Amino acid sequence: MEVSNVRDPSPTTVESTEPYRWRWLILVAMIVAEIMDLLDASIVNVAGPDLEKSLGAGSVGLQWVIGGYALTLGAGLVLGGRLGDRYGRRRMFLLSLTAFTAASLLCAFAPSIGSLIAFRLLQGTAGAMLLPQGLGLLRENFSGPELTKVFAIFGPVLGLGGIIGPVLGGFLIEGDFFGLGWRSVFLVNLPIGIAALIVAAKFVPRKPGDRTVRVDVIGAGLVVASCALLVLPLNQGQEDGWPLWTWLCMATSAIGFALFAVQQRRTAAAGREPLVALGLLRKPAFTVGLGGIALFFGGLIGTQLVLTLFLQIGQHFTAGEAGLGNLPLAVGTAIGGAVSGAFLADKIGRKVLQIGPLVQLVGAAVLWFELDALDADSFSIWDIVPGAALAGVGAGMVIAALFSFILAAVDDDEIGSASGVLSAVQAVGGSIGVAIFGSVFFAQAKTGDFTGGFHRALIVQAFLLVAFLAITFLLPKQGRPDDEQHGVTAEAPTHTQHAAA
């Protein structure tokens, strides 16, 4: 019996070589849910002044509200993929989407900054369980050239999440709908999450997980603890004057990551499945690439945050104006990504990863001189559009191509695990960037020197970009084709494909 002839669209366990009739609704549900997940990483960026007025949030509290989400999101991503393998991706998707929506509600009604931080950490954890399931479900319900087309839609649309986050957040806060203020940036997740839940529950077919898959809880615990021990002192250090405990925490974090690598080898040697494919840790280009991702996204996310803080705190922009102030950077990123993804990366190979940071450095230099020439009495966003847009173009060139060049260093059977690790490092790198750049900016902002704070952030970004540029020379000269970055093969013979963690 063909699935397309089944009148009842309720989810059932189906084994068929025919495409599932309702598969495009699955794509819609996945895109909506995962855009919501990614959107929440940046939508709060413009809420700083409102959180200070409403909950008494200081600079450290704001850094935790923004960076804490990215921290738990990144630390749990690989574990989320493994749980989907074991318990079934449909089940994990529904559970994690329910948890994410509930955590959003808790964030919206948080009575204090401490509770908001706790709920954001919970929200990030739910997001880490949610994100890996989307790719897996698409691979289970699409195949062949159609699957390649799905990822061609899925990737760019998800990229919009980070771009429109501050703009949407500014619109919601500025509108102050029903007097909700900053709380609306979390409440907007409720109708979206519930709609995605209804569609997914009705149309995603049931497919059992593989109970033989072992979940490496010890490895996951080491990753979470090591990430927390790194981000905690980076957030608190500036405020507390960098006492001894901050340095001890960072040293312990380094030891924790080393222990994780040892533990993964021992797990594999004992015949159990490690959290990360062991072969990845033996590939110098991949491990170097992880450092490159952390450097690049730490600098990018940190600079975007500082731009927003400068506009709101330094130039007294409203939340809506600050959100629109991110548009030059966002538009530049979209242009750079389109140029890189459409032809430049294929034509010049790895050089696109070297031209990108150089363009960013030029953009940062232009921004520096634009800031020096500012007239505080007549400042408008147009004064910094050229530098911000140019920096965005450079960033977009790198973003569109970076994963493909790192994945070119791994074997075909390691693509799933490698993609999960790269996404996790990207999120954690962003959290570290929020902590470092936030501390650098606020250290100057406390003296009233907001332009100086922005200048220092640009200096930090320049160092990170130079380090990233050096790393790119160690990456493969050509990237992996787009249709292979998620384990997609044009010859996939069956409707159902197993998703690697």
Is 1 exposed, middle or buried, given 0-12, 13-18 or 19+ CB atoms closer than 10 A? exposed
Is 56 exposed, middle or buried, given 0-12, 13-18 or 19+ CB atoms closer than 10 A? exposed
Q: What is the pLDDT of residue 2?
A: 36
Residue owning tokens 């033996």: 282
Tell me the three state secondary structure of residue 335. Answer: helix
Q: What is the pLDDT of residue 19?
A: 67
Q: Per-residue pLDDT tens for 442-489?
A: 989 888 899 999 999 999 999 999 999 999 999 988 876 665 666 554
Q: What is the pLDDT of residue 211?
A: 82
Q: What is the pLDDT of residue 5?
A: 40
Nearest residue to 204 (alpha-carbon basis) of 6, 30, 408: 30
Nearest residue to 172 (alpha-carbon basis) of 314, 59, 45: 45
Reported for 147-154, long-range contacts at CB under 8 A and 24+ positions apart, including other chains, are 147/488, 147/492, 147/497, 148/482, 148/483, 148/488, 148/490, 150/27, 151/482, 151/483, 151/485, 151/486, 151/488, 152/482, 153/27, 153/31, 154/27, 154/30, 154/31
DSSP string computed for 178-231: GG-GGGHHHHTHHHHHHHHHHHHHHHSPP----TTPPP-HHHHHHHHHHHHHHH
Q: Per-residue pLDDT tens for 7-33?
A: 445 454 444 556 677 778 888 888 888
Please say whether the beta carbons of 205 and 141 come within 8 A.
yes
11 vs 9: CA distance, rounded Å: 6
Q: What is the pLDDT of residue 159?
A: 63
Please say whether the beta carbons of 362 and 390 come within 8 A.
yes
| Segment (H or E) for 135 | helix 113-141
Q: Per-residue pLDDT tens for 333-386?
A: 888 988 887 788 889 989 999 999 999 999 999 999 988 887 766 788 888 899
Is residue 397's pLDDT more than 60?
Answer: yes
Q: What is the pLDDT of residue 11?
A: 52
Mean pLDDT of 389-412: 89
Please say whether the beta carbons of 175 and 321 come within 8 A.
no
Is residue 140's pLDDT more than 90?
Answer: no
Q: What is the pLDDT of residue 240?
A: 83
Q: Average pLDDT over the chain, rounded to whole? A: 85
Q: What is the pLDDT of residue 94?
A: 94
Q: What is the pLDDT of residue 13?
A: 47
404 vs 143: CA distance, rounded Å: 21
- Residues in the chain, total: 501
User: Which whole-number Å values give the CA distances from 67 to 63, 119, 228, in the listed order?
Assistant: 6, 13, 11
The share of the chain scoring above pLDDT 90, in percent, equals 44
Question: Regarding predicted confidence, which is higher, 10 or 49?
Answer: 49
pTM above 0.95, yes or no: no
Q: What is the pLDDT of residue 496?
A: 32
Q: Could you tell me the two tokens for 19?
A: 């495409």
Predicted confidence band of residue 418 (pLDDT cuts 50, 70, 90): confident
Q: Could you tell me the two tokens for 45?
A: 């960026």
42 vs 427: CA distance, rounded Å: 12
Q: Per-residue pLDDT tens for 144-199?
A: 777 777 777 766 676 666 667 888 888 899 888 888 999 999 999 999 999 999 99
The share of the chain scoring above pLDDT 70, in percent, equals 89
Determine phi and psi for 409, rounding to 5 degrees. -90, -5
Q: Which of 77-91, 341-355, 409-423 has the lowest mean pLDDT?
A: 409-423
Q: Per-residue pLDDT tens for 91-131?
A: 999 999 999 999 999 999 999 999 999 999 999 999 999 98
Mean pLDDT of 253-282: 89
Q: Per-residue pLDDT tens for 216-237?
A: 889 999 999 999 999 999 988 8
